[in-house]
Structure 1
Amino acid sequence: MPELVAPPRHRALDDIAGLAVGVLVISFGLFLLKSGGLVTGGTAGLALLLGYVLPVPFGVIFVVVNLPFFALAARGKGWRFVVRSLVSIALVSVLTSLHASIAGVGPLELPSVYAAVLGNVLCGVGLLILFRHNSSLGGFTVVALVAQEKFGVRAGYVLLALDLLVVLASFTVLDPSQVLISALGAGVLSLIIMLNHRPGRYRAS
């Protein structure tokens, strides 16, 4: 019987660099989606959707929407994961709101399909980075990760099902064409997670 080898551990510097890159990539992806008047899946998409109808900054909505999910995160993933996820959410919230002012421009004028695909690709890549450094953006990703680790249900499939609910809810706010484009983008994000985040594929902690 082959000897089991303990999975490698990230150094503190690895985690800091990984989380910094992850939140930066995700925040810019959300900035592109917001510029295109679109939503995506997860609580980020839910926060974008609520931001179109509420006079509240995206960052505030994003934090509030995620708070109920952290009881599940603490029980299923531990407090280390919770703390890292809280830091990630706070940074994404701030950076998403600051991208326009940092660049010195308002929301970009982008074709909707381009914004949907590129924005969700960036969000998907950023989420993979966070997952691999024991973090997330809370919300639906916590549910998906716990379902994968506890019950063997692929995280991508869980995210896809929950994301569809957000996209369907957006019919009450957005133009149907924007909803369909948002659905395309959410599918891209879920596909990225399904193809790249599987049990046992990445074992560093």
Structure 2
Amino acid sequence: MSDPRSPSAPASGVPHSPAEDAYALFVGAIQLSLGLVLLKSAGLVTGGVAGISLVLNYLTGLPVGLFYAAFTIPMLAVTLRTMSWLFIVKTLIVTFSLFAMTQVAAHTIAIDSISKPVAALVGGSVIGMGALALARHGAGTGGSGAIVLWLYRTRDWNAGRTQMLIDGCVLLFSLVTLDLGLVLWSLLGVTATAGILYVWHRPGRYTGY
């Protein structure tokens, strides 16, 4: 569910203001939370830390946001030497915002019925747009994206392939609680997320760190 790049300014060189960054983090966290709500309503998962959190939620009943924070914080700690403190702080803000928003959503949003293809396509696309908003304002969607960038910078691992490997492992892990059909629908959602980032998050439009 996460993009390893973390741009902070448009290619034109005009930086975002603190107010613009704060608004983008808020909107991005809303989109991530909504996407997770849609996927969870259909019993699906996604990639990255969010996907692991959904699987563990299905297994234990504990909040998705709790697992999300529990995995993201130590992953960010691993990347302290390669990522800027501003990126770390922004990603932590997103992490705790997502925890709060998913808790609120559990008590304020009730979806009685949603088809799996709709949940996969819409949920995955909404998560992709949230990840795009965050990436363009120097924040990540979770620990897995930071780990991907850390591996790229320290081991020269291809970021795209590494993210695909992580997402594939998450989908395989989801087989402990989901049947194959649900995993395949979840794969559609992961593809929808990746498609958003592939089309709109390109070098030259926004510069990376």
TM-score range, shorter chain: 0.7 to 0.9
The offset of 1:67, in angstroms, is 2.0
d(CA) in 2 for partners of 1:97 and 1:201?
Answer: 35
Alpha-carbon spacing, 1:36–1:119, altered in 2? closer, same or farther (3 Å): same
Of stretches 156-165 and 19-28 in structure 1, the one that deviates more from structure 2 is 156-165
| Alignment partner, residue 84 of structure 2 | 78
d(CA) in 2 for partners of 1:146 and 1:193?
Answer: 19
1:109 aligns with 2:74: no
Q: Could you say what the CA RMSD is over the residues aligned between the two structures, in angstroms?
A: 2.2
What SS does structure 1 have at the residue aligned with 2:178?
coil
TM normalised by structure 2 equals 0.85
The offset of 1:169, in angstroms, is 1.0
* Alignment map for 1:26-175 (pairs within 5 Å): 26-103=32-109, 106-146=110-150, 151=156, 153=158, 155-175=159-179
d(CA) in 2 for partners of 1:26 and 1:59?
Answer: 11
1:178 aligns with 2:182: yes
What SS does structure 2 have at the residue aligned with 1:75?
coil
| Alignment partner, residue 188 of structure 1 | 192
The offset of 1:175, in angstroms, is 1.5
d(CA) in 2 for partners of 1:95 and 1:65?
Answer: 17
- Structure 2: which amino acid aligns with 1:42? G
Kindly provide the CA deviation profile for residues 116-153 of structure 1, in whole angstroms up to 9, marking residues without a partner as x. 11001000110011011111122211123445667483
- Structure 2: which amino acid aligns with 1:92? L
d(CA) in 2 for partners of 1:134 and 1:149?
Answer: 17
Kindly provide the CA deviation profile for residues 53-93 of structure 1, in whole angstroms up to 9, marking residues without a partner as x. 11321121111111221123322211111111011011112
Aligned residues: 198
The answer to whether the 8 A contact 1:156-1:191 is kept is: no
- Structure 1: which amino acid aligns with 2:74? P
| Alignment partner, residue 4 of structure 2 | none
- Structure 2: which amino acid aligns with 1:190? A
Alpha-carbon spacing, 1:195–1:146, altered in 2? closer, same or farther (3 Å): farther
The answer to whether the 8 A contact 2:35-2:126 is kept is: yes
d(CA) in 2 for partners of 1:107 and 1:74?
Answer: 39
Alpha-carbon spacing, 1:187–1:62, altered in 2? closer, same or farther (3 Å): same
TM normalised by structure 1 equals 0.87
The answer to whether the 8 A contact 1:157-1:190 is kept is: no
Which residue among 24, 32, 37 is the counterpart of 2:30? 24
The offset of 1:196, in angstroms, is 2.7
Alpha-carbon spacing, 1:146–1:193, altered in 2? closer, same or farther (3 Å): farther
The answer to whether the 8 A contact 1:28-1:119 is kept is: yes
Percent of residue pairs bearing the same amino acid type:
33
d(CA) in 2 for partners of 1:148 and 1:188?
Answer: 24
d(CA) in 2 for partners of 1:197 and 1:148?
Answer: 18
The structure having more radius of gyration, on CA atoms, is: 1
The answer to whether the 8 A contact 1:7-1:204 is kept is: no
